[in-house]
Amino acid sequence: MSKALLICPSERTAVAEFSQITPLAATPLLGESLLEYWLTHLALAGIKEVRVLASDRPEHISKLVGDGARWGLKVEVTPEVRELTPALAAVKYADELPASAQNVIAVLDHFPGATDSSLFDSYANLFSGLTLWIPRAKTVNRVGMHEVRPGIWLGLHAHVSPEAQLHAPCWIGKHAYVGAHCVIGPMAILEDRSFVEAGAEIASSIIGADTFVGKLAALRQSFAFGNTLVNWSTGSVTRVSDAFLLCALKRQPNAKTSESFLHRLFELLFAEERPAVDPLETINEQGRAT
């Protein structure tokens, strides 16, 4: 019986902002993580047992997949001190891999079957990979996701105003909200539970899960998650201080922070006040029209 070893990538400096939110293998991409896409793929291929090797926040990976029962698999998550290469993983777990079987060993830096490009080599690669995956993202276990018009996908309980304009290709996740007079697409992805206020414009951009986009925003070539904007073409990063423009709708419990509690407290109490930054001006400087 064939088995699989799935290697969760550690942090990638080329897409460092994503690693701050959640392990890369668990990042929502069109509503599901790479790990979930791979488990669905393996289950359909007849694999029964999967070992997941995780060096970055393995406890979060374990919480995401459980024991694999929802895929009909036996899944075990094993913490590692560092990311293993496929060759090292094959040697370390050789006793578990039947020599006569077609075993699978994969690093989760690409979608199943899309081995020609690593998603995490750059923000541009990630954007390109996601938009190419849109037609294949509706896996057999996705309930309620449907194509309302060619190239336009809506998730379960998504709300789109009749006065909004949708241009293919675009993907709007479950429980997402799109207000009146919004222009969404082409090449736009709104992850689950994102909220786009009336009048906003989004093209060639991806809005992260649980992210609010205000009515003054017009995003181009961007990843937007929480209050963070990343231009996927240039790699530049902006923190938007105005929550009426861009903010997170809920706290990210698995996010990393580089500041200790005492350091942050000291900064809040004693640091000199920083000059206010106009978020609209900052966005314009990165080539976004508002």
Q: What is the pTM of this model?
A: 0.84
pLDDT of residue 281: 43
Find tokens 């690093």 and name the residue. 107
- Give 91-95's long-range contacts (Cβ < 8 A, gap of 24+): 93/5, 93/51
- Domain boundary among the residues 104, 136, 168 is at 136
Shared domain check, 156 and 30: no
For the record, the structure tokens of 130 come out as: 């996601």
Query: Pairing state of beta strands 104-107 and 3-7?
Result: parallel
Query: Is residue 161 included in any domain, yes or no?
Result: yes
Going by the DSSP 8-state scheme, the letter that residue 197 receives in this structure is: -
pLDDT of residue 231: 97
Contact 287, 231 (CB under 8 A): yes
Q: What is the pLDDT of residues 139-181, one digit of tens each?
A: 877 888 999 999 999 999 999 999 999 999 999 999 999 999 9
Q: How many residues does the chain have?
A: 290
pLDDT of residue 219: 97
Output the domain CATH number for residue 204: 2.160.10
- Quote the number of domains for the chain: 2
Given a cut of 50, is residue 277 above it in pLDDT? no
* Residue 224: CA count within 13 A, CB half-sphere: 34
Q: What is the pLDDT of residues 199-227, one digit of tens each?
A: 999 999 999 999 999 998 999 999 999 99
Shared domain check, 90 and 155: no
Structural domain boundaries, residue 228: 146-285
pLDDT of residue 254: 57
Find tokens 């060759």 and name the residue. 87
End-to-end CA distance of the chain: give it in Å, rounded. Answer: 57
Chain-centre distance of CA 222, in angstroms? Answer: 13
- Domain boundary among the residues 89, 116, 136 is at 136
Query: Is residue 290 included in any domain, yes or no?
Result: no
